Amino acid sequence: MKRRWLVCSVLLLSLALALPASTQTPTHSVLQNGGFEVDTSGWGAWNGTLTRTTTPVNSGSGAAQVTLDGIGVGNATQCIDLSPYLATWPPDGSTKYLTFSGYLHSDGMTEVNLSYDFWGNTDCTGTDYGFDVTSHITAASWQLHTITAAIPAGAQSVRVFFVGLNSMGSGTFYADDLAVYSSTVTAVQTRGMAARSGLWAAGLVGVAAVGIGLGRRKNAA
Protein backbone atom coordinates (compact mmCIF):
# COMPACT_ATOMS: atom_id res chain seq x y z
CA MET A 1 0.00 0.00 0.00
CA LYS A 2 2.79 2.40 0.90
CA ARG A 3 4.60 1.57 -2.32
CA ARG A 4 1.46 2.33 -4.34
CA TRP A 5 1.08 5.79 -2.81
CA LEU A 6 4.80 6.47 -3.22
CA VAL A 7 4.50 5.80 -6.97
CA CYS A 8 1.40 7.99 -7.17
CA SER A 9 3.11 10.86 -5.34
CA VAL A 10 6.17 10.68 -7.60
CA LEU A 11 3.96 10.80 -10.70
CA LEU A 12 2.02 13.83 -9.48
CA LEU A 13 5.21 15.66 -8.47
CA SER A 14 6.76 14.98 -11.88
CA LEU A 15 3.60 16.26 -13.52
CA ALA A 16 3.65 19.49 -11.54
CA LEU A 17 7.31 20.11 -12.35
CA ALA A 18 6.60 19.54 -16.05
CA LEU A 19 4.09 22.41 -16.24
CA PRO A 20 5.38 25.32 -18.34
CA ALA A 21 6.18 28.40 -16.27
CA SER A 22 4.70 30.64 -18.98
CA THR A 23 1.18 29.56 -18.00
CA GLN A 24 1.63 31.47 -14.74
CA THR A 25 2.93 34.72 -16.25
CA PRO A 26 0.65 37.61 -15.13
CA THR A 27 -1.01 39.82 -17.72
CA HIS A 28 0.82 43.14 -18.13
CA SER A 29 -1.46 46.15 -18.48
CA VAL A 30 -0.18 49.21 -20.36
CA LEU A 31 -2.98 51.38 -18.97
CA GLN A 32 -2.09 54.01 -16.37
CA ASN A 33 -4.00 54.04 -13.07
CA GLY A 34 -6.67 51.48 -13.88
CA GLY A 35 -7.54 51.00 -10.19
CA PHE A 36 -8.00 54.64 -9.04
CA GLU A 37 -6.49 53.79 -5.68
CA VAL A 38 -5.21 57.32 -5.03
CA ASP A 39 -6.67 59.65 -7.65
CA THR A 40 -7.78 59.86 -11.30
CA SER A 41 -4.38 60.75 -12.74
CA GLY A 42 -3.87 59.68 -16.34
CA TRP A 43 -7.56 60.12 -17.14
CA GLY A 44 -9.53 63.03 -18.52
CA ALA A 45 -13.26 63.66 -18.95
CA TRP A 46 -14.68 64.91 -22.24
CA ASN A 47 -18.22 65.08 -20.89
CA GLY A 48 -19.46 65.00 -17.33
CA THR A 49 -17.38 65.18 -14.16
CA LEU A 50 -14.77 62.57 -13.25
CA THR A 51 -13.87 62.03 -9.59
CA ARG A 52 -12.46 59.27 -7.38
CA THR A 53 -14.83 57.56 -4.99
CA THR A 54 -14.38 55.12 -2.12
CA THR A 55 -17.86 53.61 -2.50
CA PRO A 56 -18.75 51.57 -4.39
CA VAL A 57 -15.45 49.89 -5.31
CA ASN A 58 -14.83 46.56 -7.00
CA SER A 59 -11.52 46.02 -5.24
CA GLY A 60 -9.00 48.05 -3.32
CA SER A 61 -9.93 51.41 -1.81
CA GLY A 62 -10.95 53.50 -4.82
CA ALA A 63 -12.89 53.61 -8.07
CA ALA A 64 -13.76 56.15 -10.74
CA GLN A 65 -17.07 57.98 -10.57
CA VAL A 66 -18.51 59.92 -13.51
CA THR A 67 -21.46 62.27 -13.08
CA LEU A 68 -23.23 62.92 -16.38
CA ASP A 69 -23.65 66.42 -17.76
CA GLY A 70 -27.00 68.05 -18.45
CA ILE A 71 -27.43 66.35 -21.82
CA GLY A 72 -27.08 62.87 -20.34
CA VAL A 73 -23.53 62.06 -21.45
CA GLY A 74 -20.45 61.30 -19.40
CA ASN A 75 -17.13 59.65 -20.18
CA ALA A 76 -13.53 59.33 -19.10
CA THR A 77 -10.69 58.68 -21.50
CA GLN A 78 -6.99 57.89 -21.67
CA CYS A 79 -4.61 57.89 -24.63
CA ILE A 80 -2.01 55.10 -24.67
CA ASP A 81 1.13 55.23 -26.79
CA LEU A 82 1.44 51.66 -28.07
CA SER A 83 4.71 52.15 -29.97
CA PRO A 84 6.98 50.90 -27.14
CA TYR A 85 5.03 47.64 -26.95
CA LEU A 86 4.05 46.71 -30.49
CA ALA A 87 7.48 45.35 -31.37
CA THR A 88 7.43 42.96 -28.41
CA TRP A 89 3.79 41.86 -28.55
CA PRO A 90 3.72 38.57 -30.45
CA PRO A 91 1.18 38.21 -33.27
CA ASP A 92 -1.65 35.72 -33.13
CA GLY A 93 -1.22 34.45 -36.67
CA SER A 94 -0.41 37.58 -38.67
CA THR A 95 -2.32 40.01 -36.43
CA LYS A 96 -1.67 41.57 -33.06
CA TYR A 97 -4.63 41.96 -30.72
CA LEU A 98 -5.44 44.30 -27.87
CA THR A 99 -7.94 43.76 -25.06
CA PHE A 100 -9.55 46.45 -22.91
CA SER A 101 -11.27 45.07 -19.82
CA GLY A 102 -12.66 46.31 -16.55
CA TYR A 103 -15.57 46.45 -14.13
CA LEU A 104 -18.48 48.83 -14.64
CA HIS A 105 -21.28 49.81 -12.26
CA SER A 106 -24.40 51.77 -13.20
CA ASP A 107 -26.86 53.69 -11.04
CA GLY A 108 -29.55 51.42 -12.45
CA MET A 109 -30.65 53.88 -15.14
CA THR A 110 -27.48 54.94 -16.93
CA GLU A 111 -26.25 52.77 -19.82
CA VAL A 112 -22.51 52.11 -19.39
CA ASN A 113 -19.93 50.62 -21.75
CA LEU A 114 -16.24 50.43 -22.66
CA SER A 115 -14.93 51.77 -25.95
CA TYR A 116 -11.66 52.21 -27.85
CA ASP A 117 -10.36 54.11 -30.89
CA PHE A 118 -7.02 53.42 -32.68
CA TRP A 119 -4.89 56.28 -34.10
CA GLY A 120 -1.95 56.62 -36.48
CA ASN A 121 0.21 58.87 -34.28
CA THR A 122 1.51 58.07 -30.81
CA ASP A 123 -0.63 60.81 -29.20
CA CYS A 124 -4.04 59.73 -30.51
CA THR A 125 -3.97 62.05 -33.49
CA GLY A 126 -3.50 61.49 -37.22
CA THR A 127 -5.26 58.66 -39.02
CA ASP A 128 -8.36 57.45 -37.19
CA TYR A 129 -8.69 53.69 -37.60
CA GLY A 130 -12.17 53.52 -36.08
CA PHE A 131 -13.71 52.43 -32.81
CA ASP A 132 -15.95 49.86 -31.19
CA VAL A 133 -17.90 49.53 -27.94
CA THR A 134 -19.01 46.78 -25.60
CA SER A 135 -22.70 46.14 -25.03
CA HIS A 136 -24.41 48.50 -22.59
CA ILE A 137 -25.22 47.56 -19.02
CA THR A 138 -27.54 49.26 -16.53
CA ALA A 139 -26.88 46.92 -13.59
CA ALA A 140 -26.43 48.62 -10.22
CA SER A 141 -23.65 46.14 -9.40
CA TRP A 142 -20.14 45.48 -10.64
CA GLN A 143 -20.07 43.74 -14.02
CA LEU A 144 -16.93 42.66 -15.90
CA HIS A 145 -16.72 43.97 -19.47
CA THR A 146 -14.12 42.95 -22.05
CA ILE A 147 -13.56 44.09 -25.62
CA THR A 148 -10.86 42.68 -27.93
CA ALA A 149 -9.75 44.21 -31.22
CA ALA A 150 -7.22 43.56 -33.96
CA ILE A 151 -4.63 46.36 -33.95
CA PRO A 152 -4.72 47.93 -37.43
CA ALA A 153 -1.49 48.05 -39.40
CA GLY A 154 -0.07 51.53 -38.93
CA ALA A 155 -1.81 52.24 -35.61
CA GLN A 156 0.52 53.66 -32.97
CA SER A 157 -1.84 54.56 -30.15
CA VAL A 158 -5.26 53.81 -28.74
CA ARG A 159 -7.72 55.99 -26.89
CA VAL A 160 -9.84 54.03 -24.40
CA PHE A 161 -13.08 55.22 -22.83
CA PHE A 162 -15.65 54.25 -20.27
CA VAL A 163 -18.90 55.92 -21.22
CA GLY A 164 -22.33 56.52 -19.70
CA LEU A 165 -25.57 57.62 -21.41
CA ASN A 166 -28.90 58.51 -19.83
CA SER A 167 -31.85 59.92 -21.79
CA MET A 168 -33.15 61.59 -18.60
CA GLY A 169 -30.16 63.95 -18.68
CA SER A 170 -28.54 63.11 -15.35
CA GLY A 171 -26.95 60.03 -13.84
CA THR A 172 -23.84 58.49 -12.29
CA PHE A 173 -21.72 55.47 -13.08
CA TYR A 174 -18.48 53.89 -11.90
CA ALA A 175 -15.45 52.00 -13.23
CA ASP A 176 -12.70 50.03 -11.52
CA ASP A 177 -9.87 47.56 -12.19
CA LEU A 178 -9.41 48.57 -15.83
CA ALA A 179 -6.62 47.05 -17.93
CA VAL A 180 -5.30 47.20 -21.50
CA TYR A 181 -3.02 44.41 -22.66
CA SER A 182 -1.84 42.24 -25.52
CA SER A 183 -4.50 39.61 -26.10
CA THR A 184 -1.93 37.10 -27.26
CA VAL A 185 -0.55 37.04 -23.71
CA THR A 186 -3.99 36.06 -22.44
CA ALA A 187 -4.42 33.55 -25.25
CA VAL A 188 -1.12 31.90 -24.35
CA GLN A 189 -2.19 31.74 -20.72
CA THR A 190 -5.56 30.28 -21.66
CA ARG A 191 -3.99 27.64 -23.87
CA GLY A 192 -1.47 26.91 -21.13
CA MET A 193 -4.23 26.50 -18.56
CA ALA A 194 -6.08 24.15 -20.90
CA ALA A 195 -2.90 22.17 -21.47
CA ARG A 196 -2.28 22.07 -17.74
CA SER A 197 -5.82 20.82 -17.11
CA GLY A 198 -5.27 18.15 -19.74
CA LEU A 199 -2.00 17.12 -18.15
CA TRP A 200 -3.57 16.85 -14.73
CA ALA A 201 -6.47 14.84 -16.13
CA ALA A 202 -4.06 12.52 -17.91
CA GLY A 203 -1.93 12.31 -14.80
CA LEU A 204 -4.83 11.39 -12.58
CA VAL A 205 -5.91 8.70 -15.03
CA GLY A 206 -2.33 7.41 -15.11
CA VAL A 207 -2.11 7.42 -11.32
CA ALA A 208 -5.38 5.51 -11.10
CA ALA A 209 -4.12 2.98 -13.64
CA VAL A 210 -0.87 2.51 -11.74
CA GLY A 211 -2.77 2.08 -8.48
CA ILE A 212 -5.09 -0.51 -10.01
CA GLY A 213 -2.15 -2.35 -11.57
CA LEU A 214 -0.23 -2.46 -8.32
CA GLY A 215 -3.33 -3.64 -6.50
CA ARG A 216 -3.84 -6.45 -8.98
CA ARG A 217 -0.21 -7.50 -8.72
CA LYS A 218 -0.47 -7.58 -4.95
CA ASN A 219 -3.66 -9.65 -5.05
CA ALA A 220 -2.13 -12.03 -7.61
CA ALA A 221 0.84 -12.54 -5.35
* Whole-structure pTM value: 0.72
DSSP per-residue letters across 153-215: TT--EEEEEEEEE-TTS--EEEEEEEEEEEHHHHHHHHHHHHHHHHHHHHHHHHHHHHHHHHH
- For the cut 50, the answer to whether the pLDDT of residue 12 exceeds it is no
129: number of CA atoms within 13 Å, CB side?
18
- Domains of the chain plus CATH, in order, are 30-204 (2.60.120.260)
Per-residue pLDDT, averaged over 77-97, amounts to: 93
- The mean pLDDT value for 90-108 works out to 94
pLDDT of residue 27: 61
pLDDT tens for each residue of 47-78: 999 999 999 999 999 999 999 998 999 999 99
**How far is residue 214's CA from residue 5's CA, in Å, rounded to a whole number?**
10
Report the C-alpha gap between 59 and 52 in whole angstroms.
Answer: 13
For residue 218, is pLDDT > 60? Answer: no
- 86-100, 113-127, 158-172: which has the minimum mean pLDDT? 86-100
Residues 6+ apart with CB under 8 A from 28: 181, 182, 185
210 pLDDT exceeds 90?
no
CA distance 148 to 217: 55
pLDDT over threshold 70, residue 11: no
**120-137 residue pLDDT tens:** 999 999 999 998 999 899
pLDDT at 93: 82
Q: What is the mean pLDDT of the chain?
A: 79
- pLDDT grade, residue 184 (50/70/90)? low
- Residue 90's pLDDT is what? 86
Choose among 186, 193, 168, 176: nearest CA to 34.
Answer: 176
- pLDDT band with cut points at 50, 70 and 90 for residue 106: very high
pLDDT for 202 beyond 50: no
pLDDT higher than 60, residue 214: no
Average pLDDT over residues 189-196: 35
Question: Higher-confidence residue: 211 or 134?
Answer: 134
